[in-house]
Every structure is written in C-alpha cells, then in structure tokens.
Copies of this chain bind each other. A is one copy, B any other.
Amino acid sequence: MRAVALVAPGRVEIVDDWPEPEPGPGDVVVQIRGVGLCGSDLSVFDGSRPVPGLPWVFGHEGGGDIVAVGTAVDDREIGQRVVIEPNFADGTCAACLSGHTSACADRQVLAITRTGILAERVAVPADYTWPVSRDWPDAALACFEPLVVAHTAVRRANVPVGADCLVIGAGSQGQLVCQSLLAAGAQPYVMEPHPGRLELALKLGARPAGDHDGDTYPLVFETAGVPAVWEPAYNAVARTGKLVVIGFNDKPAQFTTMDLVQRQVTIVGQLIYDHPVDFQATLTAVTAGQLAPQQTVQATFPVSETVAALAAVREIPGKSWIEFSSWRDRP
C-alpha cells in the first residue's frame, strides 16, 4: 500500500510498497481519511526525535474508516468511522492501575514506537479507536487528538464559570485550549505575537491579553513551549493560582521557592490524556456541540503534498492537516 515514508532526516517519499498492516486478534485496520501535523511530528521529521529505524512512517493525529476487524474484536465493525487514540497503555503497571495511563512505563505511541498513520491503512487496538458520526468532516478527524489534549488540560484545572484565563501562544494547541475554556464558560485572554494566530483566537471568542484588567490570572495555560515565555507565564499567575504547562522545551526554567510559596502558586505539567476517560469526555463535549475540533484547522494539504504540509506547521496561523481523498478514490 502507499505510505509517506521518512527515508532520511528531513526527507520523505511516497512509497507504494509499504507492507499492508496485519491486525492482531484485538486490532482493527483503519483506512485513513485525515491526519493532523504537530510539533512532535516535525521533530521526528527533522531527526531530532529518534525513531526505531528508517524508513519510518509517522503521523499520529487522525482517523478514518474501519476496513478490517481482528478475530477477538466484537464491539467494532467494518464501515465505522473512528478517531484514533494514539497512546496505547499496557494496562498492568502501577500507573495504569491507578488510572494514569499517560504515565504508563511501557506506553506504545503511534509514530514514535510503532508505525504511524501517514499511510493508506494502519492497524490499531480496537479499544483505541473511537466511533464517531459519519457526518464529521475529515478535518475533525485530523484535529480531534490535540483537542483531547487541550480539553483534558482544561478539565483537570477545574476552571470556574466566568474565570479569566491567560492562554500563552495561539498556535493550534493554544486555540484548542481557548475553545475548551469558552465551552466551560471561562474567558480566555491570549498572548501571541503572530498577528494571524491572534486573530484566529479572537475569532473563536478569546480576547487579547492587553485588554485584561490586571496582569495576573487565576489560571494560566502555557502552550508556546519557547524559553522566552516561561517568565511571563509564571509571573502572570495570581496568588493561589495555577500555571498549566502544556508546551515545553529543555532549557532551564527558573523561579524561587520563596516566591512560589509566598504567592502559593501551583505549577502543573500537562502531558496527554488518560485512557479511556479523556477521549470519552471530549467526545461527549463534541457530540453535544460544545466543541468542534475542525474550528481550528486552517490549512489542508493533499497527501501528495506532505512535505509542504510539514513546512507549513511552523508558518501558518492554525493547524496543517493532510487529507487522503486522492488515495481513497484511486484504486
């Protein structure tokens, strides 16, 4: 089958002979319809994040239609449209047993430890596919996983109705956080230097940070992940407030414990979601019309232009995603 193969750092090729996925007894095979791209895809693409070997297929945000079902699967069927939850927990370690599958010591990750989804088809555990309505646009399939990340961050932060929240960064993650905050009745204020991104956030209902009455907030969501924003992010937290760190980097971040204690600040590192409760909760909110993953999507590329899509990740105001209709329609 066809796949987008990373053949060397920074170089992908569309290949025709990628091996067809073999579903295990508990797997389903999904024919891909849409794949979103994010920063971690870029770090695989440019070689900064190691993968088991080359050529490699990456891409981990997306979904499509079930075209085959493993022998032990009795709750999924051919033809269902699904989004894929791309982190597979072992379900048996102490972290999993206490409900924190995101901290699973043996977590398998699509595109990092297992072949990703920039391919015609992929085999994934049935439990990690989530049936959705066939009315979903493909863009929503491509953007649902990062929405789960955002919605999980917001849910765990227990944001009160009417609370003013600072969102640092209005890349796609920042925009999804804004969307989730708005759905929960909170008011996001956005700090973002890129005018196009800021504008997109304002369109969703966010306000510019400059309009805020006061320069601290009970809740701050840091999504930019660049070293320069650590200090403004930390300082913007009001007394007894919370800083939710979503974007990250490997440079030292500093503060003093005196300040942390005196201001009673809480800092939370927010990685991903726990299985299955967070995909479930986000799906509930989408189904109810409170969230719309595709609202944030801005640039659509056919699969043949994956390289251009990758280049766009850092340039365009919103999300780049790849749609697979050309591969589906051509035999």
Contacts and interface: CB of A to CB of B under 8 A. Distances in A.
A75 interface: yes
Given A183-B161, A288-B164, A260 B245 contact: yes
B248 A260 contact: yes
B286 A257 contact: no
A249 interface: yes
A250 B240 contact: no
A261 B254 contact: no
Interface residues of A, number: 74
A127 B91 contact: yes
Contact of A102 (B94, B99, B161, B240): B240
A136 to B, nearest CB: 16
Interface string A88-110: 00111011111110110000000
B258 A263 contact: no
Given A269-B265, A288-B187, A251 B256 contact: yes
A78 interface: no
Contacts of A162: 183, 281, 284-291
Nearest to A269: B260
Interface string A230-252: 10000000011000011111111
A184 interface: yes
Contacts of A268: 264-267
Interface of A: 25, 72, 75, 90-92, 94-100, 102-103, 127, 151, 155, 160-164, 180, 183-187, 222, 225, 230, 239-240, 245-271, 276-277, 279-281, 284-291
